[in-house]
């Protein structure tokens, strides 16, 4: 039985409606007695009760189960899902956000400045494999290397929508179709100009619906700014953190923003501030400014003892898997189901070790040198990562 289903079943029972075959049979028996019927063969094997079960009880159970499992749960924002939740959102003037593609700048490097070099539009850039998955970007414009420059930044877009393409610096480093004269390609620091996003989940939409109840006015409170920012920038409501106490004088406030992949680029946050200013939104003493979430960079070192008799290829795959899993915990990729870092919380390395054991049965033992990371209004990010495999 799903969460809250017992509550809805109790509502139906409290209304005097039987919810099981046995309860319905008892109800039919009582009706039979109240009407003075002479039918006395009430065995469940009798042809009479088999007929009643088929033409009365079964359709009645269909209706009752529809009430308990569909109609009642989808009558409330907290338990509604799918298209039913879309209708609740519509009643609050909200629409489920669709998936969007990541957009950012990819740096191409060349070996010499002696001759002109052009990167064609439509050039594909791939990531290194992450848990067997390769992500791809495509350049949007034909671009020439500037004179006297060994590098050029070119705008590229993910081939598919979704937040999984918001990879950390260095992941996009493969040209599947080499270009003569190009020595390398990479996504640098703050390469994202517009992060990609998945279609809004039920839970994310519920958070916006709940926020909408407190955003009935457009001035002077957090809920209104959450509405403005999430609708414009496609950010989850729980990725916005407000700082009050007049950080820039009486009535002022700051909003610190994170995204699924961690710290948003300053350029992206600047577009949010411009949207707020240009559209005349005011509140918090006419001074509310968005900032990227501050980061708390941590170097992570772990030693892994694999099980015996792994081949060199298996050991290499294990090391790469452990590295990418840890990076997923620090929001550098989404390809593993790792517990991720959050502001105002504790990141547990003992939990991370448990999750690594569950994910990689090839691990016999492992040991982090790190202690737990405790954060305030900041996000734990990954500095240098060292994964050592022992024999």
3-state secondary structure the chain: CCCCHHHHHHHHHHCCCCCCHHHHHHHHHHHHHHCCCCCCCCCCCCHHHHHHHHHHHHHHHHHHHHHHHHHCHHHCCCCCCHHHHHHHHHHCCCCCCCCECCEEEEEEEECCCCCCCEECCCCEEEECCECCECCEEEECCCEECCCCCCEEEEEEEECCCCHHHCCCCCCEEECCCCCCCEEEEECCCCCEEECCECCCCHHHHHHHHHHHHHCCCCCCCHHHHHHHHHHHHCCCHHHEEEECCCECECCCEEEEECECCECCCHHHHHHHHHHHHHCCCCCCCCCEEEEECCEEEEEEEEEEEECCCCCHHHHHHHHHHHHHHHHHHCCCCCCCCCCCCCCCCEECHHHHHHHHHHHCCCEEEEEECCCCEECCCCEEEEEEEEEEECC
Check residue 3 and give its pLDDT: 64
Question: Is pLDDT of 264 > 70?
Answer: yes
Residue 329 covered by a domain = yes
Same domain, 325 and 364: yes
**75, 92, 114 - which closes a domain:** 75
Same domain, 313 and 278: no
- Tokens representing 294 are 């501050």
Neighbours of 309 (CB within 10 A): 6
Residue 97 covered by a domain = no
Least confident of 13-27, 132-146, 339-353: 13-27
Q: Are 299 and 384 in contact (CB under 8 A)?
A: yes
> For the chain, what is the mean pLDDT?
88
Same domain, 109 and 179: yes
- Residue that is written with structure tokens 């994310």 in the block: 204
Same domain, 115 and 166: yes
Same domain, 168 and 221: no
How many whole angstroms separate alpha carbon 85 and alpha carbon 201? 10
- Residue that is written with structure tokens 């400045």 in the block: 113
Check residue 284 and give its pLDDT: 46
Q: What angle do CA 90, 93, 94 make, to 5 degrees?
A: 70
Same domain, 31 and 59: yes
- The model's pLDDT over 265-293, given as tens digits with 9 standing for 90+, comes to 999 999 999 888 776 555 545 678 999 99
What value does the mean pLDDT take over residues 306-316? Answer: 94
**194, 226, 251 - which closes a domain:** 194
Residue 92 covered by a domain = no
Same domain, 235 and 171: no
Q: Are 19 and 63 in contact (CB under 8 A)?
A: no
Residue 239 covered by a domain = yes
- The model's pLDDT over 5-15, given as tens digits with 9 standing for 90+, comes to 788 888 888 88
Residue 176 covered by a domain = yes
Same domain, 310 and 274: no
Same domain, 181 and 118: yes
Domain containing 14 equals 5-75
Same domain, 117 and 136: yes
**231, 264, 292 - which closes a domain:** 292
- Count: domains in the chain: 4
Question: Is pLDDT of 34 > 60?
Answer: yes
CATH of the domain at 242: 3.30.300
Same domain, 339 and 381: yes
Same domain, 108 and 188: yes
- The model's pLDDT over 159-214, given as tens digits with 9 standing for 90+, comes to 999 999 999 999 999 999 999 999 999 999 889 999 999 999 999 999 888 888 76
Residue 87 covered by a domain = no
Residue 93 covered by a domain = no
Residue 128 covered by a domain = yes
């Amino acid at each position: 039985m799903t969460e809250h289903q017992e509550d809805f079943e109790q509502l139906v029972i409290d209304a005097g409606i039987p919810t099981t075959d046995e309860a319905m049979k008892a109800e039919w028996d009582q009706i039979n007695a109240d009407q003075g019927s002479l039918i006395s063969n009430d065995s469940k094997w009798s042809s009479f009760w088999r007929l009643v079960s088929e033409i009365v009880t079964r359709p009645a159970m269909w209706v009752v189960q529809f009430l308990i499992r569909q109609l009642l749960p989808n009558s409330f924002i907290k338990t509604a899902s799918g298209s039913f939740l879309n209708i609740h959102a519509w009643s609050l003037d909200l629409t489920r956000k669709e998936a969007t593609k990541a957009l950012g700048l990819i740096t191409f490097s060349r070996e010499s400045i002696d001759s002109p070099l052009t990167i064609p539009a439509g050039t594909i850039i791939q990531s290194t494999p992450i848990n067997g998955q390769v992500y791809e970007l495509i350049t949007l414009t034909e671009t020439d290397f500037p004179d006297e420059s060994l590098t050029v930044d070119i705008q590229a877009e993910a081939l598919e929508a979704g937040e999984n393409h918001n990879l950390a610096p260095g992941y996009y480093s493969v040209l599947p179709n080499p270009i003569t004269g190009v020595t390398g390609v990479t996504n640098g620091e703050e390469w994202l100009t517009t992060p990609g996003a998945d279609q809004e989940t039920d839970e994310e939409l519920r958070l916006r619906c709940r926020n909408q109840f407190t955003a009935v006015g457009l001035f002077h409170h957090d809920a209104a700014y959450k509405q403005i920012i999430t609708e414009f920038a496609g950010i989850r409501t729980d990725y916005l953190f407000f700082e009050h106490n007049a950080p820039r004088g009486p009535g002022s406030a700051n909003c610190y923003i994170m995204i699924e992949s961690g710290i948003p680029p300053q350029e992206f946050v600047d577009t949010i501030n411009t949207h707020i200013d240009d559209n005349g939104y005011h509140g918090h003493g006419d001074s509310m400014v968005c900032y990227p979430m501050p980061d708390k960079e941590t170097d992570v070192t772990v030693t892994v003892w694999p099980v015996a008799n792994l081949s060199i290829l298996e050991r290499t795959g294990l090391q790469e898997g452990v590295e990418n899993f840890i990076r997923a915990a620090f929001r550098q990729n989404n390809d593993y189901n790792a517990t991720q870092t959050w502001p105002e919380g504790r990141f547990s390395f003992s939990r991370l070790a448990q999750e690594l054991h569950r994910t990689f049965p090839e691990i016999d033992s492992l040991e982090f040198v790190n202690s737990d990371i405790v954060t305030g209004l900041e996000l734990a990010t990954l500095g240098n990562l060292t994964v050592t495999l022992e024999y």
